Amino acid sequence: MENKPKSDDFGTFLESVQRSEKRETPSNIPMRIMTALSRFGTMDLLKLMAVVDIPPTELLEGFISLQAAGLVRIDESVKRGVIELTVEGVQMAQTIITSEEEQA
């Protein structure tokens, strides 16, 4: 039986934690977008990007999933693009706010 140095054990642990964090991040992005929209209302896409501090490609994936769920509407006819909650999105946002208030 070969004994590995403790640093290898820590390295393996660190890699598994990082993989776990990467898997959790995509599911968290739509929630971060919804939370920002629930607090600030309709926002242009650049401002939302700054508020949620998510890389553009991941932000786009979050938009797509929220749009597919019918929770947001993106109006690209405006120069910088605008994202807003749909009626269903407003209801979901109210649930998020209520849940956050209860946890506080």
- Indicate whether this model's pTM tops 0.75: no
Residue type, 98: T
Residue pair 74/63 in contact by the 8 Å Cβ criterion:
yes
Structure tokens at 58: 């991941």
Which pLDDT band, with edges at 50, 70 and 90, does 2 fall under?
low
Mean pLDDT of 95-102: 76
User: What residue ranges do the domains of the chain occupy?
Assistant: 29-103
Residue pair 51/40 in contact by the 8 Å Cβ criterion:
yes
Pick the CATH number of 29-103 from 1.10.760.10, 1.20.1300.10, 3.90.1150.10, 1.10.10.10: 1.10.10.10
Per residue in 44-89, pLDDT (tens digit) is 988 998 888 888 888 888 999 999 999 999 888 877 789 999 999 9
Residue 89: is it exposed, middle or buried by C-beta count within 10 angstroms (0-12/13-18/19+)? buried
